[in-house]
Chains A and B, each alone.
Chain A
Amino acid sequence: MTDSRLPTGVALITLILLAGVPLSLYYAGHIFWLDIFTRAVVLAIAAASLNLMLGFAGLASFGHAAYLGIGAYAVGVPAYYETYGGGGMIASYSGWWHLGLALGASALFAAVTGAISLRTRGIHFIMITMAFGQMLFYLLVSIDEYGADDGMTVDLTSQFSHVDLSDPVMLFGICYGSLLLLLLLQYRLKHSHFGRILAAIKQNENRTRALGVNTFYYKLTAYVLAGVICAYAGVLMANFSTFISPGMIEWTRSGELMFMVILGGTAWVFGPVVGAMIFVLLEYFLAGLTVYWHLPFGLLLILTVLLFRGGLGGMLQRIGATRGEGQS
């Protein structure tokens, strides 16, 4: 049996740092850092939702950023209509309406595209999810009213009665709380009846079916769940950046989400959080260093894949295991 204390310890410390560092810096006057960390937390939610498919069920979706877009446009489009008129029933500043729209639209998109792409496996699945993501991208690019490929600004954040999302500390708190809740949810899910069936599908789908499991519905459930959670992250993202564009959902964004998950380690519920943090910090420091920051970034990606199997989570577990052996 492997020792899981080390990964758990790292997870707890990361969670404390994730809240402590930006808030203390913010109150010390370095307002900017709260932005960086809010972004990291939102991306962590998106990456964690991807891990629900990738890590739990072995479904390598390469179009996951599409759901960030659905969530973001579910905020931007109603707000746009409310400001400039038109849009009929859709127009609203209400946060609950934005959330409902985001979750409903993402569930529908996930159910339809999932039902088609889950009929295939392996390389087909990867390419098809990528293509569906790109379909949404081109759809948004083609709509001039929403700014086409330039996107549009969100003039007013989603309105809730007791919560003001335009307050950066409040927004960070909401994002951070959502992340904690999601991690708890995923931890429970991983060890639930459903989670075990997903694990079985990940290891050997054919065998799972030969035990009498209709694997399709389990995969589809995971697929829809992941999409809906990611759309929620999209709602947060739109309120945080107050600017939305099709660029949010280009397939390269999906690749970045994938990178975060792999970097952190798929077998670890907490992996995507670590991955997202490293990603955002790297992006910030490298981009400050040089305009050519994609170069070290790309090389890092290649090296991660070639040398770094199982991501950070896998590494921590190995270190924990060897230390455990040494002590006994």
Chain B
Amino acid sequence: MIAVQTINGLQLGILLFLLSSGLTLTFGIMDLINLSHASFYMLGAFVCASLTVLTGSFLLAIVMAVPITAFIAFVVEWSIVGRLYQRDHLDQLLATFGLILVADTLVHWFWGPSGLAVPLPAWLQGQVSLGASLFDPAIVIPTYRLLVLGFGIAVALGLFWLVGYTRTGMLIRAGASNRVMLSALGVNVRLLFTGVFALGSVFAALAGMLIAPVTEASIGMGNDIIITAFVVVIIGGVGSIKGALLAALFIGLVDTFGRAFLDVLLMQIMSSQAAETAAPAISAMLIYLLMAVILVVKPQGLFPPAQR
């Protein structure tokens, strides 16, 4: 049980990281608070679902969906989001909230009101046995979950490489700590911003694509998880990719374990009936309580960015 839940928690963590890395980047560099991330998460899932049905291949669908969502991100950035960088956070929030409404409705119009399932190829539908551990006589995990985990880790590593070891990454880091300096260096700031927005959006879309076979694509699917991604960004420290990764894995594990084991834990200290009533309520609030505690101790999150 514990091993399986750990894998589940890590998988949730990886998805949260894909979502929150884009959020934390766009905030750190463009000073933009961006709700439309939720829409790209949903778009990724729908585009991928349609392409999977169309091409018959899930992997091919992912490969094709990435440039499509990137293109949509370019259009959105060019037409609307690009005009928001100089505005205050409230304006950004409302305008991108408007974008969510527009996106939800367009998806409704295009794909219809009900969800869209993504069929997995046969080789991903099976389960893998990973032997036994101290707590589990036999660990059996769906192959697809392992794939998600591996893929997510690969993308995370790619992002760290991009930000840490490339010229673009150097510009991104420079932009996060000092925006004025960038234009002084002669960098095309507008282009960099567009690129970062598209990158973040594609990451969100990738998260949506990966989750689609598990939950199916549905309208408004991003509107809940985006708030969890916010919690990750806050806990990790706004603007910090490392913080986002650690906080995402942490939140993923805490949330999963809370839902799976809290009732058992509570039964140690209260009657089983009381525990069964209290456990769902507490586990629903767990990550927010955690956030509150962390903020009391460190109002800027665990890894606040260096001086701006």
Asked if residues B231 and A62 are in contact (CB atoms below 8 Å), the reply is no
A304 to B280, CA, bound (A): 40
Q: Quick one: closest A residue to B283, CB to CB? A: A142
Given A135-B288, A302-B95, A123 and B102 contact (CB-CB distance below 8 Å): no
B285 to A138, Cβ gap below 8 A?
A: yes
A-B residue pair count with CB separations less than 8 angstroms: 130
Main secondary structure of the interface of A (DSSP, over half): helix
Beta-carbon contacts of B163-186 to A below 8 Å, as 1s and 0s? 000000000000000000000000
Given A122-B89, A123-B33, A294–B104 Cβ distance below 8 Å?
yes
Q: A301-B97, A305-B91 are in contact. Are A139 and B102 (CB under 8 A)?
A: no
Would you call A130 and B230 a contact (CB within 8 A)? yes
Take A123-B33, A299-B102 as given contacts and tell me if A131 and B284 are in contact as well, using a CB distance cutoff of 8 Å. no
B230 close to A302 (CB less than 8 A): no
| Interface-located stretch among B129-137, B191-199, B210-218, B292-300 | B292-300
On whether A131 and B99 interact (CB within 8 A), knowing A60-B90, A259-B94, the answer reads no
Looking at the complex, which one of A60, A119, A250 makes contact with B89 (CB distance below 8 Å)?
A60
Residues on B with C-beta less than 8 A from A297 are: 101
A-side contacts of B6, CB under 8 Å: none
Interchain CB contact under 8 A, A142 and B284: yes
A141: CB under 8 A from chain B?
Answer: yes
- Bound: A302/B292 CA distance, A: 32
Q: A262 and B90 in contact (CB under 8 A), knowing A127-B233, A306-B95?
A: yes
Roughly how many angstroms separate A122 CA and B227 CA in the complex, as a whole number? Answer: 17
Roughly how many angstroms separate A160 CA and B51 CA in the complex, as a whole number? Answer: 60
Q: How far is the CA of A142 from the CA of B263 in the complex (A)?
A: 13
Say whether B94 contacts A131, CB under 8 Å. no
Q: Which of A102-161 contact B (CB under 8 A)?
A: 113, 116-117, 119-120, 122-124, 126-128, 130-132, 134-135, 138-139, 141-144
Contact indicator per residue, chain A 266-304, by CB within 8 Å of chain B (1) or not (0): 000000000000000000000000011111011111101
B234's partner among A131, A144, A255, A294 (CB-CB below 8 A) is A131
Highest count of chain B CB atoms <10 Å: which of A135, A139, A144:
A135
Q: Which residues of B contact A126 (CB under 8 A)?
A: 33, 89-90, 93
A291 contacts across to B, CB distance below 8 A: 108
Asked whether A251 is an interface residue with its Cβ less than 8 Å from the other chain, the reply is: yes
Q: How far is the CA of A143 from the CA of B281 in the complex (A)?
A: 7
Q: Which of A26-71 contact B (CB under 8 A)?
A: 54, 60, 62
Is there contact, CB below 8 Å, between A130 and B227? yes
User: In the bound complex, do residue A298 and residue B284 qualify as a contact, i.e. CB atoms below 8 Å apart?
Assistant: no
* Residue B27 lies at the interface, judged by CB distance under 8 Å to chain A: yes
Partner of B295, one of A119, A258, A304: A119
One of B104, B230, B284 near A138 (C-beta < 8 A) = B284
B101 and A124 contact, CB distance less than 8 A: no
Residues in B neighbouring A127, C-beta threshold 8 A: 33, 230-231, 233-234
Number of B interface residues in the complex (CB < 8 A): 44
B83 near A306: Cβ-Cβ < 8 Å: yes
Q: Are B89 and A123 in contact (CB under 8 A)?
A: yes
How many Å lie between the Cα of A305 and that of B89 in the bound state?
11
Within 8 A of A (CB), among B273-303: 280-281, 283-285, 288-289, 291-292, 295-296, 299-300
- 0/1 string, B80-107, CB within 8 A of A gives 1: 1001100101110111011111101110
Known: A123-B27, A302-B80, A302-B99. A295 touches B234 (CB 8 A): no
The complex places the Cα of A116 from the Cα of B87 at a distance, in Å, of: 26
Tell me, yes or no, whether B223 is within 8 Å of chain A by CB: yes
Smallest CB gap from A133: residue in B: B227
Interface presence of A241 (CB below 8 A): no
Do B227 and A134 have beta carbons less than 8 Å apart? Answer: yes
Nearest A-chain residue to B301, judged by Cβ: A124
Given A131-B227, A142-B280, A143-B281, CB of A292 within 8 Å of CB of B108: yes
Roughly how many angstroms separate A232 CA and B238 CA in the complex, as a whole number?
35
Q: Interface residues of A toward B: which range?
A: 35 or more
Q: Chain A residues near B234 (CB, 8 Å)?
A: 124, 127-128, 131
A252 within 8 A of B: yes
Please tell me if the beta carbons of B238 and A131 are within 8 angstroms of each other in the complex: no
Contact A135 B285 (CB under 8 A): yes
Of listed A120, A126, A302, residue having the most chain B CB within 10 A: A302
Interface centre among B80, B284, B296 (most CB of A within 10 A): B284
Q: How far is the CA of A257 from the CA of B140 in the complex (A)?
A: 47
B109 beta carbon closer than 8 Å to chain A: yes
Q: For the complex, what is the distance from the CA of A144 to the CA of B107, rounded to whole Å?
A: 31
Minimum C-beta distance from B187 to chain A (A):
24
Determine whether the beta carbon of A255 is less than 8 Å from that of B284: no
Given A126-B89, A134-B227, A302-B95, A294–B83 Cβ distance below 8 Å? no
Task: Provide the residues of chain A in CB contact with B105, threshold 8 Å.
Answer: 292-295, 298
> What residues of B have a CB within 8 angstroms of the CB of A139 in the complex?
281, 284-285
Convert B98-122 into 0s and 1s, putting 1 for each residue whose CB lies closer than 8 angstroms to a CB of A: 1111101110110000000000000
Bound-complex Cα distance A299 to B99 (A): 7
Interface string of A226-263 (1 = CB under 8 A from B): 00000000000000000000000011100100110010
Closest to A302 in B: B98
Chain B residues close to A by CB (< 8 Å): 27, 33, 80, 83-84, 87, 89-91, 93-95, 97-102, 104-106, 108-109, 223-224, 227, 230-231, 233-234, 238, 280-281, 283-285, 288-289, 291-292, 295-296, 299-300
13 CB contacts below 8 A, A to B, read A60-B90, A113-B292, A126-B89, A127-B231, A135-B285, A138-B285, A139-B285, A252-B100, A293-B105, A295-B106, A298-B105, A302-B99, A306-B95
6 further interface pairs, Cβ-Cβ under 8 Å (given A120-B300, A127-B231)? A131-B231, A139-B284, A292-B105, A294-B104, A299-B98, A299-B102
